[in-house]
C-alpha cells in the first residue's frame, strides 16, 4: 500500500463523517421552505404595521 492511498482514504472517511453530521444537523435544526416563508411573511406584516404607526416629522 502507498502512503498516498491511506491519506486519501482517511480524508474521504473524514469528509463522509462531516457530511453525515451535517445531514443530521439539518434534520435536527433545519426549517422547511414553508416555515421560512411563513416567518418572512409574519416579519413583513409586523414591519408594515410598525411603519404604518410612524408619526410624520
| Residue 56: all three cell numbers together | 410624520
Note whether residue 12 is domain-resident.
yes
Q: For residue 51, what pLDDT band results from cuts at 50, 70 and 90?
A: confident
Please state the domain count of the chain: 1
Note whether residue 9 is domain-resident.
yes
pLDDT, residue 39, reads 94
Note whether residue 57 is domain-resident.
no
Spatial CA neighbour of 40 closest among 7, 3, 32, 25: 32
Q: What is the pTM of this model?
A: 0.50
Q: For residue 14, what pLDDT band results from cuts at 50, 70 and 90?
A: very high
C-alpha 30/C-alpha 50 separation (Å) is 29
pLDDT at residue 2 is higher than 80: no
C-alpha distances out from residue 56 to 6, 9, 51, Å: 70, 66, 11
Q: How many residues does the chain have?
A: 57
- Its domain, for residue 41, covers 3-52
Amino acid at each position: 500500500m502507498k502512503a498516498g492511498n491511506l491519506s486519501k482514504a482517511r480524508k474521504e472517511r473524514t469528509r463522509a463523517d462531516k457530511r453525515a453530521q451535517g445531514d443530521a444537523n439539518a434534520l435536527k435544526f433545519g426549517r422547511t421552505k414553508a416555515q421560512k416563508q411563513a416567518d418572512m411573511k409574519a416579519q413583513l406584516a409586523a414591519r408594515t404595521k410598525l411603519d404604518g404607526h410612524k408619526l410624520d416629522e
